[in-house]
Amino acid sequence: MSDTSLPVVRLRPKANATAIRRGFPWIFADELVVDRRTKALSPGTIALLEDAERTPLGVVGVTPASKIVARMLDLRGTAAPDKAWLKDRLAKALSLRERLFDAPFYRLVHAEADGLPGVIIDRFGPTCVIQPNAAWAEALLPKMTEALAEVTGCANILKNAGSRGRALEGLDAADAVLLGTAPDAPVPVQMNGATYMADLTGGQKTGLFYDQRPNHGFTARLAQGQKVLDVFSHVGGFALAALAGGAESALSVDGSAPALALAQKGAEAMDMAERFATRQGDAFAVMTDLADAGDRFGVVVCDPPAFAPSKPALEAGVRAYERVARLAAPLVAEDGYLVLCSCSHAADLAKFQGACLRGIGRAGRRAQLIYTGYAGPDHPLLPQLAESGYLKALVFRL
């Protein structure tokens, strides 16, 4: 049913309406007629998008001051999203995750790929953490909270406002408890036989990175009987999975003392603390020091933060990935394994792989590429939006 009360926004004649009709979810500021009326819309306004010939395309959430001025919510729809609409999207997302996983620990909503642009929801048993990174989602957050509780049965729903994307939408950085209570201790999460401690209120992002789950599992197979070095370890992602897979020992390196403390708690929960160690410091400096000391490892993992989160940062980011590979390669024992990861949107697989190979070559090592990994299936890819496939993991045998 059409909602005639919705304001109308219109594409410019040169905008790519065909791409939008085929599922591309973003409309950029230079593609929309941004007149005085459109500029006056409040951030998060739900509007009806029309092409240049005034043919309706669908319902969008509008943020006039953002580079992404509109996000497609319902292609070919004509009514504003209500709680029933939100429940339908959430139920579809939940049905996929319940088919994939035996326990309720996963990414429940992966933004555009799950039909909720800009929205991230990670589930930790009875608690969900929402990142509403688009103004439309912030405006509908009370309805979304109700819908989420009804669909999942979760008693606790938290809002995490730490994403950089919120600032681009003109949103605040205030976290909140939307329903129930926040856990008063880190939440133990079982993955790949390891136990991770997720800090849902004070940790990075929503408290834990679920995206590397399949890559943790593959690396753990290589780690049996090996000494493992996990650089940019956060709460022990690869290191704890390696211990669960039978590694002789694991060393986690990170700049964050709280993250390493959580990693240590995870190792203790697994009764593997005697095979686990941490080292706080700058990753580049620590790798240099380990090489100078002659340390070698059967498996070395580097999973840094996004060095190239945007196109302007691409050149510097590619150089940083090359430097990581150059410093990490000498630490790998002969016939050992080097795992290099990137979560940068702007650095595609070809650019990232090229940087890794240049770094390995500059270190004087010869590499076989044996595995290319991506985010797990609870982080689905929207084929029309390359940015939704951000994670790359390359495993080399040196």
Name residue 26's beta-bridge partners. 71
pLDDT of residue 4: 59
Per DSSP (E only), the strands in the chain are: 8-10, 26-28, 45-50, 56-62, 68-75, 105-110, 119-124, 127-132, 156-159, 176-179, 187-191, 194-198, 227-231, 249-254, 276-280, 297-302, 332-342, 368-373, 392-397
Q: Which residues of 333-362 are buried (b: 16+ CB within 10 A; e: fewer)?
A: eeebbbbbbbbbbbbbeebbbebbbbbbee
C-beta of residue 44 within 8 angstroms of C-beta of residue 90: no
Q: What is the DSSP letter of 246?
A: T
Q: Which residues of the chain have pLDDT under 70?
A: 1-4
What residue has token string 């590694």? 247
Q: What is the DSSP letter of 186?
A: P
Read off the amino acid at residue 214.
P
Name residue 124's beta-bridge partners. 105, 127
Helix (H, G, I), strand (E, B) or coil at 156: strand
> What phi and psi, each to the nearest 5 degrees, are found at residue 109?
-130, 125
Instruction: Give the burial class of 37: count Cβ atoms within 10 A of its Cβ; 0-12 exposed, 13-18 middle, 19 or more buried.
Output: exposed
Which among 155, 159, 230, 156 is positioned nearest to 194, based on CA atoms? 230
How many degrees, rounded to 5, is the angle at CA 10 between CA 5 and CA 14? 170
Q: Distances from the Cα of 97 to the Cαs of 6, 114, 157, 270, in angstroms? A: 34, 11, 18, 26
pLDDT of residue 202: 85
Question: Residue 144 and residue 132: Cα distance in Å, rounded?
Answer: 10
Tens digit of each residue's pLDDT (9 = 90 or more) over 57-104: 999 999 999 999 999 999 989 999 999 999 999 999 999 999 999 999
pLDDT of residue 342: 96
Domains and CATH numbers, the chain: 8-75 (2.30.130.10), 83-179 (3.30.750.80), 188-397 (3.40.50.150)
Reading the block at residue 61, the tokens are: 């959430």
